[in-house]
Amino acid sequence: MHSIKLRGEWCKACRICIQICPRRVYVQGKEPNAKGYKVTKVERLEDCTGCKLCELMCPDLVITVEDAEESN
Ligand code: SF4
Ligand code: SF4
């Protein structure tokens, strides 16, 4: 399984990742970060294909997707 790291303190809750993920891995979380934004949450990690579209499209560099081999 791939792993996803989210630097939640940088998220601005723009929802681009939620809308762009073809597998609907993300949902908007309920917990605000220090800036008051409700940080994206990984809801269905098992459905992630590792395409990294979310990592490429996040304007705030919040997301890092690691391949299964790298994360062990
Ligand atoms: S694209 Fe980045 S900044 Fe926007 S909601 Fe997703 S993680 Fe947050
Ligand atoms: S790597 Fe692809 S499938 Fe996985 S969460 Fe990001 S956009 Fe969705």
The CATH code of the domain that includes 50 is 3.30.70.20
pLDDT surpassing 60 at residue 71? no
Nearest CA owner, ligand 1 atom 3: 11
Give the number of domains in the chain.
1
What is the per-residue pLDDT for 70? 55
What is the per-residue pLDDT for 20? 98
Give the chain's mean pLDDT.
Answer: 95
- Helix, strand and coil content of the chain, in percent to the nearest 5, comes to 30, 30, 45
pLDDT surpassing 70 at residue 18? yes
User: What range defines the domain where residue 64 resides?
Assistant: 3-71
Burial class of residue 72, CB neighbours in 10 A (0-12, 13-18, 19+): exposed
Question: Is the shortest distance between the CB of 66 and ligand 1 below 6 Å?
Answer: no
Q: Are 37 and 47 in contact (CB under 8 A)?
A: no
pLDDT digits 0-9 by tens, 42-64 = 999 999 999 999 999 999 999 99
Nearest CA owner, ligand 1 atom 1: 58
Closest ligand 1 atom, residue 10 Cα: 3
- Of 29 and 69, which is predicted with more confidence? 29
